[in-house]
Amino acid sequence: MIGYGLTLPILPFLVDKAANSETLFGLSPSTHVGLMTGIFPLMQFISAPFWGRWSDNIGRRKILIIGMGGYAISLIFFGWIDSLGFLYILRVLGGIFSASVVPAVNSWITYISSIKKRGKFFAWAGGAASLGVIFGPALSSYYMEINWVNEYSWAILESNSYTLPFMIAGSFSLIALCGVALLLRDRPSELHTGKEEFKSHFFSNLNDREILPILFLH
């Protein structure tokens, strides 16, 4: 969620800049900002059930790697595009790929936690997501003042003062992806209904530290 929080303060300025160089559907810049803000959670709402079903079939780790990798790429490219059409496409893709996190993480928390600790783990996950939204806008304001990648262009890609915050947001997603790849592993019994004896043994050895890698996904 820190990536989502980073983009919120910048989105109106980036869309307004693109709208001044071209028109799309005859809509005003403020309307485009509203549509791009809303289309992201809409795509999450539509695609999350599919990600949840796929995570049950092929494993949560694979789903998180695919989803977070796609989301990171969409964030990085978003800061390099000066076309409303492509911004909409990237926004849609960002919503679709980011939707993989919620069902996979919630399912993982349910699996690794005992009933006694499950509420606490979900609270930690929710708090981690809220921290990302809180600190994201402050970080984006800071990075907008650092002109490290201005005046670079190639094909449809062109850097501007909003490029660096999106690259930082994408980098955070890539760091989280590396954490998933290195620290989390699917267990064979996660892909089907396991035996109660296995679950009881697993829960008896669970400690709170096993939730920490999952919190970084938010």
The residue written with tokens 């549509």 in the block is 35
Summarize pLDDT for 104-153 with one digit per residue, the tens. 888 877 777 778 878 877 887 777 777 777 777 777 777 766 666 666 66
Ranking 16-20, 47-51, 143-147, 172-176 by mean pLDDT, the lowest is 143-147
Among 14-23, 24-33, 34-43, 156-165, top mean pLDDT goes to 34-43
> Is the separation of the CB atoms in 105 and 125 below 8 Å?
yes
Nearest one of 120, 72, 128 to 100, comparing CA atoms? 72
Q: Label each residue of 125-190 as H, E or C.
A: HHHHHHHHHHHHHHHHHHHHCCCCCCCCEECCEECCCCHHHHHHHHHHHHHHHHHHHHHCCCCHHH
**Fold observed for domain 2-187+198-215:** Growth Hormone; Chain: A; (1.20.1250)
Q: Is the dihedral of CA 169, 5, 63, 80 positive or negative?
A: negative
- Residue 186 burial (10 A CB sphere; 0-12, 13-18, 19+): middle
Sketch the domain layout of the chain as residue ranges. 2-187+198-215
Work out the pLDDT band at 42, boundaries 50, 70, 90.
very high
